[in-house]
Amino acid sequence: ELKVEQNPLFLSMQEGKNYTIYCNYSTTSDRLYWYRQDPGKSLESLFVLLSNGAVKQEGRLMASLDTKARLSTLHITAAVHDLSATYFCAVVYTGTASKLTFGTGTRLQVTL
């Protein structure tokens, strides 16, 4: 079964703190995406990770990929309230005609 699991499902953190969201997937993938979703809105693309060891950073967010462990992380540095949103990872599994399988999502709440 093609599964993508994220943890935690919900994360409440204070401004200024660091934290990591984990994304585990079940089998070989071609690439992995991270998206942000604000309430009532659609998805905003954050990162695409293509190969083992890939690391991408944008502002306070950094994503990495370990294909051997089938694990991606989204690290938040010095969180600010504006980062409050739901974050999804999504995997394109090999041989699935480029379909995205989404993770369960992590709802991040950054408190002042």
* Residue 88 Cα distances to 47, 107, 108, 112, angstroms: 11, 9, 11, 23
Q: Closer to other proteins at the Cβ: 50 or 78?
A: 50
Q: Which of residues 82-101 bind other proteins (CB under 8 A)?
A: 88, 90, 97-101
Work out whether 24 is an interface residue with other proteins (CB under 8 A).
no
Work out whether 80 is an interface residue with other proteins (CB under 8 A).
no
Work out whether 7 is an interface residue with other proteins (CB under 8 A).
no
Work out whether 22 is an interface residue with other proteins (CB under 8 A).
no
Q: What is the spatial order of strands in the sheet that 19-25 belongs to?
A: 4-7, 19-25, 71-76, 61-66, 55-58
Q: Closer to other proteins at the Cβ: 10 or 78?
A: 10
Work out whether 30 is an interface residue with other proteins (CB under 8 A).
yes
Secondary structure of the chain: what % helix, strand, coil (to 5)? 5, 60, 40
| Residues at the contact surface with other proteins, assessed by CB under 8 A | 30-31, 33, 40-43, 45, 48, 88, 90, 97-105, 107
